[in-house]
Amino acid sequence: MSGIITILQKELASFIGSDKGVFGVYAIIVAVWSFMFLFGEDGVGGQLWFVFFSVIVAANFSSTVFISERINGTLEILITSGLSRDAILFGKMIFIIQMTFIIGFSCALLAGVLGIILPGIEGARAFGFYDAVLYLSATFLNVASSAYFSVRLSNPRLLHFINIFIIGAIITIYSTMSSLFNLHHYFLVVGFLLLGAVFTFLAKKEFTGERIIQPVIL
């Protein structure tokens, strides 16, 4: 547990120390997507934008936390620093999930504020419990698949596209099955969580078998 906390502290410090332009980009993303959520339709169809929002945010953080560190050698240093590989993997995953949740919550909160102060949008929808559950389950899947494919991909730039493809495939399967059997919308959440658990297991295996190219002694 202490190893996970160490990784969380390390990732948070790295994020806070990022270029200030990063915070501006996320502020713009939150502002734009809050309007999209505000005027979205009720029901699963109107909530899918929030799912793909999690793809954007989680994949961006994953590119930094997993792929960039693998490329510049920082991940190699962590693996040889005495921290367990499970602590490194799960610490990074928890950090990305937390940040994605904070940004998503900020987006929903801003949408709620805009719905109160702006005139002429009485029909705007509010953020509900299912929105939060759907967003978090999609985030878990995105982070887990990013952790796995960060090891397997030869081209890290494909990470966003793979996550979009996976999410899109699950939604397509759910929509097709729902039209045939009238499935409850929580089946989509269950699908995200189950596949996320599979990718977490696969990512754990990859990190356990990670080979050290150049051992580093701290």
Query: For residues 2 and 98, what is the distance between their CA atoms, to the nearest angstrom?
Result: 17
Query: Which of helix, strand or coil describes residue 133?
Result: helix
pLDDT digit string, tens, across residues 49-60: 778 788 888 888
Q: Which amino acid is at 179?
A: S
Tokens for 42, please give them.
């009720």
pTM as predicted: 0.82
End-to-end CA distance of the chain: 21
Tokens for 212, please give them.
């050290």
Per-residue burial over 108-139, b = 16 or more CB atoms within 10 Å of its CB, e = otherwise: bebbbebbeeeeeeeebbebeeebebbbbbbb
pLDDT digit string, tens, across residues 189-206: 888 999 999 999 998 888
The whole-number pLDDT of residue 158 equals: 77
